[in-house]
Amino acid sequence: MEAHQDLRGINFEEGYIAVLDKPLEWTSTDVVRKIKYTLRKLGYHRIKVGHAGTLDPLATGILLVCIGRATKLVDSLQAEEKEYEADVMLGATTPSYDLEHPVDRTYPWEHITREKVLAALQSLTGERMQTPPLFSAKKVEGTRAYELARAGETVELRQAKITIYEMELLEYDLPRIRIRVRCSKGTYIRSLAREIGEALDSGAHLTSLCRTRSGGFTLARSLQLDDFLQKLQILETK
């Protein structure tokens, strides 16, 4: 059930993991639906397809799509640690903690130094509780949080235990910083961006996000979605 580059001779019903670089603005569900549709045209009419870890539409990077019997591995794959590279804009917040919504408030950022940023990253590292974004797929009494938030309803989301194993400051170009994050399942990098802003007595939001690793699967060995779909489409009908 490994992620092969050559798809010839593969029986997808027996199990296959597609290691993809999710395109910008696609939802994870969009990717699953597109692959399922393409497989059905190849004759796999009842095949199961699912992903192992949601990526927001404005994020790119590793999306593991499990096909056939590999869907049984979704839970164990989701539990693996993840690694991200993220751009964080200091001095402003948005309702969604990213660029899905426009800036709703600005804050001073001129007092921030490299040393303060490093201290903030250190203070947020380790095992702790984190509140998911209001605009997230978390369910509140059966309804997605983002649906309630868009309807203007007050939403109280339960905190979840997460672990930030490591954070590294990759670029320091105020008011923008770029960080690498190695973390546990369930960590919201959008929430982390907001937490960084708060730790710096300012505000912050996520401006770009790329998942570079999920468990043992790395971005360097991934396929672009279009390339994977083209490889599928040239296969003979099952």
Which amino acid, one-letter code, is at 155? V
The CATH code that applies to domain 82-214 is 3.30.2350.10
Residue 48's alpha-carbon distances to 21, 44, 69, 78, 230, in angstroms, are 20, 9, 8, 17, 20
Per-residue pLDDT tens for 196-234?
Answer: 999 999 999 999 999 999 999 999 999 999 999 999 988
- Token pair 């600005």 is found at 106
CA 96 to chain centre: 14
Residue 67, SS3 per DSSP: strand
Q: Do domains 12-79+217-233 and 82-214 have the same CATH topology?
A: yes
Residue 88, SS3 per DSSP: strand
Tell which CATH architecture fits domain 12-79+217-233: 2-Layer Sandwich (3.30)
Q: Which of 6, 30, 56, 227 is catalytic?
A: 56
Does the annotation mark 30 as catalytic? Answer: no
How close are the terminal C-alpha atoms of the chain, in Å? 19
pLDDT (0 to 100) of residue 82: 98
* CA atoms of 15 and 5, how far apart (whole Å): 15
Q: In which band, very low, low, confident or very high, does the pLDDT at 157 lie, cut at 50, 70 and 90? A: confident
* CA atoms of 168 and 181, how far apart (whole Å): 7
Q: 215 is written with which tokens?
A: 């468990």
Q: Where are the domains of the chain?
A: 12-79+217-233, 82-214
